[in-house]
Amino acid sequence: MLFYLISILVVLVDQAAKWLVRTHMALGERIPFWSPHLQFVYYENSGAAFSSFQGYGKYFSIIAVVFVAAVFYYRRQGKIRGPLLEAASGFLVGGALGNAIDRVIYHQVTDFLVFGNRGGILNLADLAINAGAILIAVYLLVDHFGHKAAR
């Protein structure tokens, strides 16, 4: 249940935020919010992370669908269990779907979050993917040290 709740919530919040940016900001517009820590900047990315592979975004939507299918497969097999992995996979799937929706509908991803002066530009789906990766790392550390302590 946690997996579905997080996945759906991430997609809904991500798409709502992107809609607000697309309808209320001009492309390239910069709004200082908590300067210098956070700014809103409207950017459209037709590639991948760090604006790499510009113009190849449609292929990343295929990768996202394959990834989501793999997560559902492993969930069905019972290999993704426990609240930490449920949450992690929910964030990963929600983030992947949030960006895939943009790629399919708009042929690019709406980015708008800039952290600090040197950071890249992200969106909420990207943050969810990062959160999922961090939770998997935490799970692996807990699992490793838990097995080590049991010996």
Contact assessment for residue 87 and residue 6, using Cβ atoms and an 8 Å cutoff? yes
**Structure-token match 């990343």, residue found:** 60
DSSP string covering 94-117: HHHHHHHHHHHHHSSEEEEEEETT
For strand 121-122 and strand 109-115, is the pairing parallel, antiparallel, or unpaired? antiparallel
111 given a catalytic annotation:
yes
Contact assessment for residue 113 and residue 122, using Cβ atoms and an 8 Å cutoff? yes
126 given a catalytic annotation:
yes
Choosing from 14, 102, 111, 143, the catalytic residue is 111
List the beta bridge partners of residue 111. Answer: 43
* Residues involved in catalysis: 111, 126
